[in-house]
Amino acid sequence: MRILILCTGNRCRSQMAQGILKQLQPSFEVHSAGVRPASEIHPLAVQVMHEIGIDISGHYPKQVDHYLNESWDYVITVCGGARETCPIFNGEVKHKLHIGFDDPDAFVGTQEEIISEFRRVRDEIREKLQKFIQKLDE
């Protein structure tokens, strides 16, 4: 199963989703990309993923254009911006799916409140991806 997780910046949500999905289903080939990738992955995304035993420190934001000619079982958008600006894929895409999450990078608050928001979004991503995998098995 080949899955591409798409976000606007490929800085937080899509990176966390890639790590979580790969942990939940190691046999899946999982990639993530952005329609307008940021310069680096968010350090708090790396931190909160490390807390649950997933290392995404080697990840980096990638441009979706690199994946447009490939075939995918699923292209999953995780933010509204990517959903609205999702490019046309030249390769076969069997299923397009939107599973939206709040952007923890947009949250304003104290450092502890911001970290809590990253954890909340991480946990929501894990919960929704577990449900996605359960539906695949049905």
Over the stretch 70-117, which tens digit does the pLDDT of each residue have? Answer: 999 999 999 875 556 666 677 889 999 999 999 999 999 999 999 999
Any catalytic annotation for residue 12?
A: no
Indicate which residue of 3, 5, 7, 75 is catalytic. Answer: 7
| Average pLDDT for 16-22 | 98
Residue indicated by tokens 């909160």: 48
| Residue 18 φ/ψ region, left for φ over 0, alpha for ψ in the -120 to 50 degree band, beta for the rest | alpha
Q: What is the pLDDT of residue 40?
A: 96
Indicate which residue of 12, 79, 93, 121 is catalytic. Answer: 79
Indicate which residue of 1, 52, 68, 86 is catalytic. Answer: 86
Secondary structure of residue 98 in the 3-state scheme: strand
77 contacts: CB under 8 Å, gap ≥ 6: 6, 7, 83, 86, 96, 97, 98, 99, 100
| Helix, strand, coil % in the chain, rounded to nearest 5 | 45, 20, 40
Instruction: Please count the other Cβ atoms lying within 10 Å of the Cβ belonging to residue 122.
Output: 25
Over the stretch 28-49, which tens digit does the pLDDT of each residue have? Answer: 999 999 989 999 999 999 999 9
Over the stretch 112-138, which tens digit does the pLDDT of each residue have? Answer: 999 999 999 999 999 999 999 999 877
pLDDT band at 57 (very low <50, low <70, confident <90, very high): very high
Q: What is the pLDDT of residue 91?
A: 80
Q: How many CA atoms lie within 13 A of 16 on its CB side?
A: 34
- Average pLDDT over the chain, rounded to an integer: 92
Beta bridge partners of 93: 72
pTM to 2 decimal places: 0.93
Residue indicated by tokens 């970290």: 115
